[in-house]
């Protein structure tokens, strides 16, 4: 099954040979690798680029663990550039490489190289990109499948497809499962073993239960205005647990940095400014949110707000 991601593919095509490092960001398993290693890769081949002039490296693959070393990566790439023709460098999960910014800046100085990378942590792969790459970094942020992309792949009755979408979300691999239980198991396992585990390990979170409970509260209250103080009060009243505002603020930052949730700040139209006192948080993928709640609280109106 081929999934169309035309908008993102066009962004990559338009960015070819512009002198910038192209950084494709987004929540893990949203299809960044598929975009680069299938859709963009096939586009390059179809447009006359030789296969040996496309250097592809998946740093999540255990076989490539040695290439997480910056010097090893530099040698590996330079050894594969044999002539003056243009080479495309494609690296998956670049944040797993030590000193990756220095390495990518080195690639910028290779006259006949065009570099594309994926990354799953927004802390250093979003607002910092222009600075880190000295004004020569470009972000292409990929979301899970929109309903239009989802429907183009699944087809059939549109209402049935919509119910499927707002229940199980738009992570591409969901389309490969043939039973409801397999879809639910995939989403639950993904949250526990990939997203939550990664957030806890990367940020050295000491209290795993606090983080898990916060995610549950956020999932139960999509569309509700909140801030660290309100969330702290919720912990105190519902869980009989005291968590300081700063700790909750840190946790929210970790969840946002992983792209698991997105923050929407209120905007005062009359005053033409953002109001920072309260915000709404939405899940990047509604299927993950539903799985976190054990497939309960699937109210279409709230879910519609999250999806939009």
Helix, strand, or coil here: 23? strand
CA distance 163 to 299: 11
How many C-beta neighbours within 10 Å does residue 302 have?
A: 17
At 106 the pLDDT is 94
Mean pLDDT by 10 residues, the chain (308 residues): 92 96 91 96 98 97 96 98 98 91 93 93 55 79 96 95 96 96 97 92 92 93 87 86 92 91 72 66 95 88 81
Q: Of 199, 218, 217, 220, nearest to 208 (Cα)?
A: 199
- Tokens 């490092």, residue? 21
At 114 the pLDDT is 98
- Tokens 């592809």, residue? 56
CATH classification (class only), 179-307: mainly alpha
pTM for the whole thing? 0.88
CA terminus-to-terminus distance, the chain: 26
- Tokens 């990664």, residue? 198
What is the CATH topology of the domain spanning 6-141? Rossmann fold (3.40.50)
At 211 the pLDDT is 94
CA distance 182 to 167: 13
Annotated domain spans of the chain: 6-141, 179-307
């Amino acid at each position: 099954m081929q999934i169309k991601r035309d908008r993102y593919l066009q962004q990559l095509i338009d960015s070819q040979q512009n002198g910038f490092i192209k950084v494709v960001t987004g929540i893990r398993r949203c299809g960044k690798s598929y975009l680069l290693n299938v859709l963009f890769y096939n586009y390059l081949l179809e447009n006359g680029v030789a296969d040996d002039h496309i250097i592809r490296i998946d740093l999540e693959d255990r076989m490539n663990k040695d290439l997480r070393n910056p010097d090893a990566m530099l040698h590996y790439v330079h050894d594969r550039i044999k002539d003056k023709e243009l080479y495309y460098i494609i690296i998956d999960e670049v944040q797993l490489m030590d000193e990756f910014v220095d390495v990518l800046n080195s690639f910028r100085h290779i006259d006949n190289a065009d570099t594309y990378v994926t990354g799953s942590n927004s802390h250093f792969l979003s607002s910092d990109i222009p600075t880190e790459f000295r004004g020569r970094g470009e972000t292409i942020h990929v979301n899970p499948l929109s309903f239009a992309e989802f429907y183009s792949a699944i087809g059939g009755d549109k209402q049935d497809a919509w119910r499927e979408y707002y229940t199980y979300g738009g992570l591409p691999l969901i389309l490969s499962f043939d039973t409801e239980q397999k879809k639910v198991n995939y989403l639950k396992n993904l949250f526990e073993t990939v997203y939550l585990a990664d957030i806890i390990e990367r940020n050295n979170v000491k209290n795993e239960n606090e983080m898990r409970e916060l995610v549950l509260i956020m999932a139960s209250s999509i569309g509700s205005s909140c801030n660290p103080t309100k969330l702290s009060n919720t912990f105190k009243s519902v869980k009989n647990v005291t968590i300081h505002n700063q700790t909750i603020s840190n946790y929210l930052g970790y969840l946002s940095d992983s792209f698991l949730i997105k923050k929407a700040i209120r905007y005062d139209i009359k005053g033409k400014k953002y109001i920072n006192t309260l915000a709404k948080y939405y899940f990047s993928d509604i299927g993950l949110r539903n799985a976190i709640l054990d497939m309960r609280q699937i109210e279409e109106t709230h879910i519609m707000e999250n999806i939009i």
